[in-house]
Amino acid sequence: MKKYVFALLLLLLPAAAYAGYVADQVPNLIYGSTTIKFGVDNQPSDTCAHFLRQFYFDATTESGKNMLSIMLAAKMANKKIDIWYTPSTTPGTNETNGCTPNTLAVVLQIGIK
């Protein structure tokens, strides 16, 4: 049993090492067409900010369409969202010193409470 638990932990570690999570966020400055970019008021330290937007996702995929629906429903209902994401490759920067639309944190999943 101990070996099973240890093996399971080893499998989960890489995923946890690359994923960020923030809870109870209000999405704002929602912008996009094929990709959706948005910001939150309390910027996570492992993200960058491109004109106050820290996150993006592809809205042309099924999962992207679902995330957009959840985000817009939360915005209309004045609810907060939880965000799971891959951190930025240029954390702590903004549009003047290194953050670009391509270095924003990539959203993996959005949840609503």
Contacts of 67 (CB under 8 A, 6+ apart): 36, 57, 59, 107, 109, 110
The burial class, CB within 10 Å (0-12 / 13-18 / 19+), for 15 is: exposed
Domain count, the chain: 1
Secondary structure letter of residue 49 according to DSSP: B
pLDDT tens digit sequence for 33-68: 999 999 999 999 999 999 999 999 999 999 999 999
The predicted structure's pLDDT at residue 33: 92
The predicted structure's pLDDT at residue 113: 83
Does 5 reside within a domain? Answer: no
Does 27 reside within a domain? Answer: yes
Nearest to 40 by CA among 71, 66, 15: 71
- pLDDT over 70 percentage in the chain: 84
Q: What is the CATH number for 82?
A: 2.40.50
Residue 69: helix, strand or coil by DSSP? helix
How high is the mean pLDDT of the chain?
89
Task: Give me the phi and psi of 26, to 5 degrees please.
Answer: -100, 115
The predicted structure's pLDDT at residue 96: 97
Does 3 reside within a domain? Answer: no
Q: Is 17 a residue whose pLDDT tops 80?
A: no
Amino acid at 106: V
The predicted structure's pLDDT at residue 86: 98
pTM metric for this prediction: 0.82
Neighbours of 35 (CB within 10 A): 16
Does 13 reside within a domain? Answer: no
3-state percent breakdown (helix, strand, coil) of the chain, nearest 5: 30, 35, 35
Does 93 reside within a domain? Answer: yes
Q: Is 79 a residue whose pLDDT tops 50?
A: yes
Does 11 reside within a domain? Answer: no
Does 8 reside within a domain? Answer: no
- Domain extent, residue 51, equals 19-112
Quickly tell me which residue has 């067409």 as its tokens.
Answer: 33
Does 4 reside within a domain? Answer: no
